[in-house]
Structure 1
Amino acid sequence: MNGTTRPLEPLAVRDLLLLAIGLLVIVAAGYGLRDPWPADEPRFAGLARDMVASGDWLFPRVGGDLYQDKPPLYFWLLALSYSVFGSVRYSFLLPSLLAASGTLFLLYDFGRRLVDRHTGLLAAFATLSTLQFVLVMRGAQIDGVL
């Protein structure tokens, strides 16, 4: 380790546990209980299902036509999630949930390294308490994963 990074202290583990509980209660509540909602979610979920069924992961297709409107990375993540779970209901929200987890962890870690663990925790919970973050991360949209 170099002198600019601080190792994770025992209290930081407690902070991360609190953050994980907050994430589960606020963002992941109801995970797997709903189907994809119009307008984009059903198309994205169907696209991922078709990728897995056809085995063509390189070029996303909708109804057999090449889907060039969005970059394929998000659809690859959806297809990977679908291939693991085998159910659209459980797989289509997983990339957004993982992106929310990663965002909150990185915010916490950035604040912890820059100032202290309280600042990192405050930054992560402030983000978790914003309506825009919660709404974007509770849906299957490309924006949250970016």
Structure 2
Amino acid sequence: MEKIQEFKGLGGMLNGFRDLVKDDKKIIFVGSPGFCTPFALFLGYPVREKEMAFIPGLEKENMRRIISTECGLELADPCSFDADTVVILGGMAMPKIGVTAEEMAAFLSQMSYKRLIGVGFMSIFQKSGWADALKFDNIMDLIIDGQVYR
């Protein structure tokens, strides 16, 4: 894949994501329950005026709308299974989650969408083989470094 944008920090991550989905009306995030849920809510914040949903794992029956409240973004009621863009979060490609690229491809074949975006950390889609196995339109790959001081 060709590099089309560079950014730094969490603000750059949010702006980069907002730019990727600027023309979309509905976005569905697919991620591992618990671990990926806050990332979907975080990424959705700068585009909170759009219709969004989160699917935990491959459990479409547990799909929930993402709504904007006075406390930020939250999961709400069930909703439809179609979107302009599907965003696969990198937790799904982690070996301990137990989902293969083939299982994800079969899951995606049940959905109606126009674009597929991967958002992950430390090249998880490339390392897991998902970058080659799935037809991503874009992959947003992030590295976050940090320190703890006393």
- Tell me which interval the TM-score lies in, with the shorter structure as reference length: under 0.3
Which structure carries more strand by proportion? 2
More helix by share: 1
Higher relative contact order (CA 8 A, sep 6+): 1
TM normalised by structure 1 equals 0.25
Largest Rg, 1 or 2:
1
